[in-house]
């Protein structure tokens, strides 16, 4: 397996935290981990770009690659990629992303690609994150914000992936917001409503930063995420 595409049920659900955690854990096992954030929005003005997610991923993987390679498109406005690019009179080229990914993949055992927003967020016109995952030929890990509404959001994401022929390794529950009554029942409901496996559950919120590796390493089902014949 060349890598994983980490998507989520929404924005702000913990995709970057989970990707950092996986990268850190695999790096500790001696794996050469590549990381990529193909498009990052909300990076600030052109004179002072700060792709926070890409920087965090690079640090977690211990990568020496340039930010331009890890994150080919860094955009100012905190909006969907296609919208943010149009505001800067820029057109995102999926071929540029694919080429950057292949260059990263060539020098690593496994490459983690973190999407922006949810699976169907448009990158350019009707080309979405799902289309990118297909073109990169990567299986998905879906990060779920386990709160009220998570069941529908998760099932819709999984259904969209299946409709496009995308492989899904499973989903990871994250309590990205204050726990509510739904959080206590989401795992059991989802287990009854989908054959995609739950690969674990973590508790992380943007307001309470924790060590990603320490949180993800013991929580995730590594055998299902990275089967032995592919991950070792």
Residues involved in catalysis: 37
Q: What kind and span of H or E run contains 199?
A: strand 198-202
Q: Both tokens of residue 28?
A: 């500790």
Q: Let me know: does 75 contact 40? Beta carbons within 8 Å.
A: yes
Q: What is the spatial distance between Cα 183 and Cα 217, in angstroms, rounded to a whole number?
A: 22
Q: Using alpha carbons only, what angle is made at residue 77 by residues 136 and 104, rounded to the nearest 5 degrees?
A: 25
Q: Are 169 and 4 in contact (CB under 8 A)?
A: yes
- Contact between 162 and 192 (Cβ < 8 Å): no
- Of the candidates 118, 143, 147, 116, which has an alpha carbon nearest to the alpha carbon of residue 198? 143
DSSP symbol at 184: G
């Amino acid at each position: 397996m060349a890598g994983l595409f980490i998507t989520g049920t929404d924005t702000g659900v913990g995709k970057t935290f989970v990707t950092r955690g996986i990268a850190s854990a695999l790096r500790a096992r001696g794996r050469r981990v590549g990381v990529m954030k193909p498009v990052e929005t909300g990076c600030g003005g052109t004179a002072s770009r700060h792709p926070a997610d890409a920087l965090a991923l690079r640090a977690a993987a211990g990568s020496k690659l340039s930010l331009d390679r890890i994150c080919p498109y860094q955009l100012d406005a905190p909006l969907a990629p296609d919208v943010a690019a149009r505001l800067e009179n820029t057109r995102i080229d999926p071929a540029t992303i694919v080429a950057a990914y292949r260059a990263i993949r060539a020098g690593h055992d496994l490459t983690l690609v973190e999407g922006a927003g949810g699976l169907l967020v448009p990158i350019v016109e009707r080309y979405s994150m799902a289309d990118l995952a297909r073109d990169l030929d990567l299986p998905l890990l879906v990060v779920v914000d386990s709160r009220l509404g998570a069941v529908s959001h998760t099932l819709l994401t999984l259904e969209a992936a299946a409709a496009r022929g995308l492989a899904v390794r499973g989903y990871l529950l994250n309590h990205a917001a204050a726990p509510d009554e739904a959080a206590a029942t989401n795992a059991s409901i989802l287990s009854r409503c989908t054959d995609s496996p739950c690969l674990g559950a973590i508790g992380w919120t943007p307001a309470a930063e924790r060590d990603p590796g320490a949180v993800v390493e013991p929580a995730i089902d590594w055998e299902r995420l990275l089967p032995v014949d592919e991950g070792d």
